[in-house]
Amino acid sequence: MTATTDGSTGAALPPRVTAASENDTDIPEAAGVPDIAARAVRRATDFLLSRQDDQGWWKGDLETNVTMDAEDLLLRQFLGIRDEDTTRAAALFIRGEQREDGTWATFHGGPGELSTTIEAYVALRLAGDPPDAPHMAKASAWVREQGGIAASRVFTRIWLALFGWWRWEDLPELPPELIWFPSWVPLNIYDFGCWARQTIVPLTIVSAKRPVRPAPFPLDELHTDPRHPNPPRPLAPPLSWDGAFQRLDRTLHALRRAVPRRLRAAAMHTAARWIIERQENDGCWGGIQPPAVYSIIALHLLGYDLNHPVMRAGLESLDRFAVWREDGARMVEACQSPVWDTCLATIALADAGLPADHPQLVKAADWMLGEQIVRPGDWSVRRPQLPPGGWAFEFHNDNYPDIDDTAEVVLALRRVKHHDPERLDNAIGRGVRWNLGMQSRNGAWGAFDVDNTSPFPNRLPFCDFGEVIDPPSADVTAHVVEMLAVEGLAHDPRTRRAVQWLLAEQEPDGSWFGRWGVNYLYGTGSVVPALTAAGLPGSHPAIRRAVAWLESVQNDDGGWGEDLRSYRHAREWAGRGTSTASQTAWALMALLAAGERESRAVERGVEWLAATQREDGSWDEPHFTGTGFPWDFSINYHLYRQVFPLTALGRYVHGEPFAARPAAASARAEPTAAGVDLPLAEAKGS
């Protein structure tokens, strides 16, 4: 069964999944569920061990949508470096992702998306596909039906403006003087989430320069009325926030010519210094593709030629985001996830029964220890006195370690019997101290920053591309709570505040919202193990409500699944969708933590995972179960389908991971392994 694709008008809800796997017959009829699970664990363990890199890390492909590939081609066209081999391979991938109705979606089985379809169409035009080809005509007709280019998001229209396909005057103004706003002024760059901040700063230069390269062809077929391609957008009511910011944007447009040239030039060069200072050792920015693309364009507009070391390193870093497939297609990853994948793989293997001193676990621990970040980054703007000690998501991203990775790396390292326990303890201590210091005022944690909750950035006309702030979330907070509990800090006042915040965030139906994974299954699968690790009994009312909800949304085939439409139509789609390996595992992890090992729901979930496992020990999962921006940007982590089922099955076979370490000597300090006590007041940000 696949989810229906017409999400624009409210797709019909998916029926309960009933199809049995064709692998069901591989299981001996006399085998009990524990035996079936143990066999699946052995096969999955062997598969995952075989995928480890010689250096100790794991990394699965990070699949998003074709805007990454389209914008890569547009960048190369803008810089004059587009080559036929790259274009041909990118076009092969983009064509392969087109749906039968001519559109492109942002996730498997999702509805056609206007901006994605426009960018994919333009990329194929660059590759030489004629506009009257059937697949192109079908796409352009759909675009016109949806309102044409004028109805697309700001980012898409910026790309088109670079080639004269859209007027810069009809885009929101983004003044580079924004770089000078102090951190206490509303709408300063640190009010934005780190991913948005890294993108907006270079775009202020692009917006100020307003470059136009000659368009290689017209795009009249993507306008509803080619004679009037830039229709005015309606204004929101003046007394609304949206209306106020629209009028502010009009004022900035009017003042554009009044800004002294020397002032504007100084602001652009300050922004350029900010960009260059944040380039990583591998040449990228923030370890993610969009900031790298816009930083290269911005610096190029300021006179940096393509042979400049900064530019050369930046372009080379983008090539490392390319995944070449066996059919010759080229997919561009938006990001790479080795630290995240490695800590999750380590947890999975340890919970599956691999000895703590297994050479491959020790090698993984060695690699993770080498990835700890020991210098300040942008987070220190809000926490200047906090010593560093976190981990990032990517190979190179020292400016933006994240709280989620740090918590999970600590949980992974604690499962390994390392040959240098003092080194391991010191690294864990630094990570715990850093995570505690990044707690927000409400007692919870965001992903990258402290108290990144300003309501203003989301109101800007420019910010229509997804989340631009980083408020605390239940899933990140849960992972930190679980880590603190394992470190013997379950009764620390900071942990208890976080537990109370999690309890207050529970939905009326018993689930939790998942910010970084899809969605209520991910949130619930994260929170329940954390609460039980922190000492809540399985009989606690919040745990019982979560168990009841999970049992109520289990599919008829025994698995669990949730479609991304739950972000847009929450209650109708919460916990509803085709069963997937990763989402089934999240549900099982919650149920097992709640003490439900003997329940029929758990047995059926285990049976589904065993029945859908491939002969090589892996699982297939075309569905997107990861989240960049809820609904707007979805991710298929190709390793999720391996690590989470193995974790769940391992915990079913071997029980919950391990007991917490002895409580720290003082509830007001972190474990002494860190070497530095962190006062409670500092951890709260007071």
Q: Which residues are catalytic?
A: 404
| Burial degree of 403 (CB within 10 A; 0-12, 13-18, 19+) | buried
Distance CA 619, CA 606 (A): 13
Residue by residue, DSSP assigns 262-294 as HHHHHHHHHHHHHHHHTB-TTS-BTTBHHHHHH
Residue with tokens 């059919």: 327
Which residue carries 């918590």 as its tokens? 407
β-partners of residue 391 are 402
Which DSSP letter does residue 20 get? P
Q: What burial class does residue 323 get, using C-beta atoms within 10 Å of its C-beta: 0-12 exposed, 13-18 middle, 19+ buried? A: middle
Distance CA 684, CA 498 (A): 11
Please give the Cα distance from 646 to 533 (Å, whole number).
20
Of 454, 461, 453, 496, the residue nearest 477 (C-alpha): 496
Rg (CA), the chain: 25
For 463-485, b/e burial (b = at least 16 CB within 10 A) is bbbbbbbbbbbbbbbbbbbbbbb
Number of H helices, E strands in the chain: 24, 5
SS3 per-residue string spanning 460-519: CCCCCCCCCCECCCHHHHHHHHHHHHHCCCCCCHHHHHHHHHHHHHCCCCCCCCCCCECC
